[in-house]
């Protein structure tokens, strides 16, 4: 027998699966806009194109469907050619080619004549496609996950993307765990909605959900606001108060913007979380039965941050990270459609949405709008998208005319948005901003403090201080009860419309109304 090592059999080479369709990642086409709005959010999977003939996209193929629906049908739009685009592989590049004589196609805002190629990184970001004048699609490389229908408890968390499916599954597991939860994500990503869903899915779902904006509590009053106070404990304490922990007894306490908790209150908060005991200012220690969900968009572990490490780790027994909207653009169509429907109903503007009676010109306008929104990076995330829908409904009964400021923002964002991002995230001093600019930011942001801070490039605390120092501005909690009741009555219980009339934050007003006993929606 030969002992020559060269005589050994050569092991076969290990070749990794293709990156374009490898079982872990798939190419998906998502309907962002369609003349039939019920089809927005449907998806079709692009097959593996390795060593395969070109795959044709057009009026009659492929079939699109959504989770929980067995029926799958093609786009079916007459202004889209039967064979509009051909998709093929060239090495690790995806080639997108317009078929000869086919209907027009725009890729990321540019007319396609001939072909264009995309690498893996470009496909991960997503490619916006406008077919004919009526259909907007997103082509994107994503991780494959099991599509699952949203339960009634998760109905507010809309979207069919991989991220939203995984988020709903995680919330379902976390909800029943009983653990304290820390929710992290940029401003406007829906942290309060996630907290409410966790509460509804927990055994405490029938108990109270008390929401607290930690950034809005004056540092000197934070201990009393959280833990309560005895009568006469300090000037103005004319009666005893149980505090937010006491109000949430048997339920859930949601501490929003936890990163803004005053340093002097953090040790008391840590003790409350560890021992489930609170001491009212000037009063006795008491036990509370409460689950704590907190949320922040601040880097609370960053060097120089005064947030205590022990408190951070205690808050994060379970952690949920929310992605920015630009990281799951598949959901933009569904979300925008939802917000348009809600705002048109709230503001009593029927007929805003497209439908069977819409003309070809109206459909083309809607498709242009959704195509522009798909190409924008949405630095304010879902909240900014909701504000966009509000402005669309208010600006035009047809719902398709953008206010000038928003049109400029979308145009700049679609071109890359770097100038706008640099401007909005640059640190500024609040005193550099004149009153006219400050009021304009309030109106443009629908009085949401986080959005105002982002737009002006200042901290939320700076915005709260500016509002507190000016007699022209106020928070939702400062509106007199009689004025609040009158505004709700005038707007039929519509909290958002009442907030806009009162010139206060809609989310802040809803937080106040939750325990008010008033009827609102």
The pLDDT of residue 467 is above 50: yes
Strands 135-143 and 25-33: antiparallel
Beta bridge partners of 211: 254
Q: What per-residue confidence (pLDDT) applies to 35? A: 94
Mean pLDDT of 363-390: 90
User: Where are the CATH 2.60.200.20 domain residues in the chain?
Assistant: 25-143
Q: What per-residue confidence (pLDDT) applies to 6? A: 45
Name the more confident of 439 and 202. Answer: 202
CATH class of the 162-321 domain in this structure: alpha beta
Q: Between the CA of residue 407 and those of 83, 341, 376, 404, what are the distances in Å?
A: 33, 21, 11, 5
Q: What per-residue confidence (pLDDT) applies to 61? A: 93
Q: Which CATH number is correct for 25-143, 1.10.238.10, 3.30.70.2860, 2.60.200.20, 1.10.287.90?
A: 2.60.200.20
Q: Token pair of 476, please?
A: 């939702």
Q: How far apart are CA 88 and CA 93, in angstroms?
A: 9
3 state DSSP class of 44: strand
Q: Decide if 243 contacts 280 (C-beta within 8 A).
A: yes
The pLDDT of residue 428 is above 70: no
Q: What per-residue confidence (pLDDT) applies to 404? A: 63
Q: Token pair of 495, please?
A: 């909290």
335 exposed, middle or buried (CB, 10 Å; 0-12, 13-18, 19+)?
buried
User: Where are the CATH 3.40.50.300 domain residues in the chain?
Assistant: 162-321
Calculate the CA 58 to chain-centre distance. Answer: 31
Helix, strand, coil percentages, rounded to 5, for the chain: 40, 15, 45
Q: At 19, is the pLDDT very low, low, confident or very high (cuts 50, 70, 90)? A: very low
This prediction has a pTM of 0.76
Q: Decide if 296 contacts 182 (C-beta within 8 A).
A: yes
Q: What per-residue confidence (pLDDT) applies to 76? A: 93
How many C-beta atoms lie closer than 10 Å to residue 459's C-beta?
16
Q: Which of 11, 30, 13, 16 lies closest to 328 in space, CA to CA?
A: 30
Q: How far apart are CA 171 and CA 321, in angstroms?
A: 11
Strand order in the sheet with 291-296: 209-213, 252-256, 291-296, 181-184, 318-321
Q: Between the CA of residue 111 and those of 97, 132, 237, what are the distances in Å?
A: 12, 11, 67
Q: How many residues does the chain have?
A: 521
Q: How far apart are CA 79 and CA 132, in angstroms?
A: 5
The pLDDT of residue 369 is above 70: yes
pLDDT digits (tens, 9 = 90+) for 72-126: 999 999 999 999 999 999 888 999 999 999 999 999 988 998 999 999 999 999 9
* Local structure of residue 241 (DSSP, 8 states): B
Q: What per-residue confidence (pLDDT) applies to 9? A: 44
Q: How far apart are CA 178 and CA 131, in angstroms?
A: 48
Mean pLDDT of 283-292: 89
Q: Decide if 130 contacts 77 (C-beta within 8 A).
A: no
Q: What per-residue confidence (pLDDT) applies to 126? A: 95
- Tell me the average pLDDT of the chain: 83
Q: What per-residue confidence (pLDDT) applies to 471? A: 82
């Amino acid at each position: 027998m030969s002992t020559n090592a060269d005589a050994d059999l050569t092991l076969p080479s290990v070749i990794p699966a293709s990156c374009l369709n490898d079982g872990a990642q798939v190419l998906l086409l998502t309907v962002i806009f369609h003349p039939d709005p019920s089809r927005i959010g449907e998806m079709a999977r692009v097959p593996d194109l390795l060593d395969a003939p070109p795959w044709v996209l057009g009026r009659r193929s492929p079939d699109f469907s959504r989770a929980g629906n067995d029926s799958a049908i093609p786009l079916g739009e007459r202004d889209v050619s039967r064979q509009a685009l051909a998709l093929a592989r060239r090495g690790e590049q995806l080639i997108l080619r317009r078929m000869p004589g086919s209907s027009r196609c725009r890729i990321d805002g540019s007319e396609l004549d001939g072909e264009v190629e995309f690498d893996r990184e470009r496909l991960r970001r997503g490619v916006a496609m406008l077919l004919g004048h009526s259909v907007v699609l997103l082509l994107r490389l994503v991780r494959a996950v099991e599509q699952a229908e949203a339960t009634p408890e998760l109905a507010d968390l809309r979207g069919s993307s991989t991220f939203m499916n995984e988020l709903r599954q995680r919330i379902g597991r976390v909800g029943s765990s009983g653990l304290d939860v820390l929710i992290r994500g940029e401003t406007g990503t829906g942290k309060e909605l996630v907290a409410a869903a966790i509460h509804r899915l927990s055994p405490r779902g029938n108990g109270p959900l008390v929401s607290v904006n930690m950034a809005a509590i004056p540092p000197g009053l934070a201990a009393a606001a959280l833990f309560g106070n005895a009568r006469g404990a300090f000037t103005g304490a004319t009666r005893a108060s149980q505090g937010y922990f006491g109000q949430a007894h048997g339920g859930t306490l949601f501490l929003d913007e936890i990163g803004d908790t005053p340093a002097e209150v953090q040790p008391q908060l840590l003790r409350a979380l560890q021992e489930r005991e609170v001491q009212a200012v000037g009063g006795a220690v008491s036990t509370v039965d409460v689950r704590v969900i907190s949320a922040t968009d601040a880097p609370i572990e960053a060097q120089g941050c005064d947030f205590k490490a022990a408190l951070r780790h205690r808050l994060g027994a379970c952690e949920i990270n929310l992605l920015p909207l630009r990281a799951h653009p598949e959901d933009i169509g569904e979300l925008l459609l939802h917000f348009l429907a809600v705002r048109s109903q709230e503001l009593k503007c029927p007929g805003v949405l497209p439908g069977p009676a819409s003309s070809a010109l109206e459909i083309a306008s809607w498709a242009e709008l959704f195509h522009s929104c798909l190409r924008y990076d949405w630095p304010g995330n879902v909240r900014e998208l909701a504000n966009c829908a509000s402005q669309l409904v208010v600006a035009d009964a047809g719902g398709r005319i953008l206010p000038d400021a928003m049109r400029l923002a979308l145009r700049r964002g679609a071109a890359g948005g770097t100038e706008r991002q640099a401007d909005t995230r640059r640190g500024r001093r609040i005193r550099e901003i004149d009153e006219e600019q400050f009021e304009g930011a309030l109106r443009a942001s629908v009085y949401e403090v986080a959005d105002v801070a982002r737009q002006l490039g200042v901290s939320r605390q700076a915005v709260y201080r500016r509002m507190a120092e000016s007699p022209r501005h106020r928070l939702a909690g400062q509106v007199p009860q009689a004025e609040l009741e009158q505004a709700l009555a005038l707007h039929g219980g519509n909290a958002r419309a009442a907030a806009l009339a009162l010139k206060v934050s809609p989310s802040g007003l809803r937080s106040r109304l939750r325990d008010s006993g008033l009827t609102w929606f």
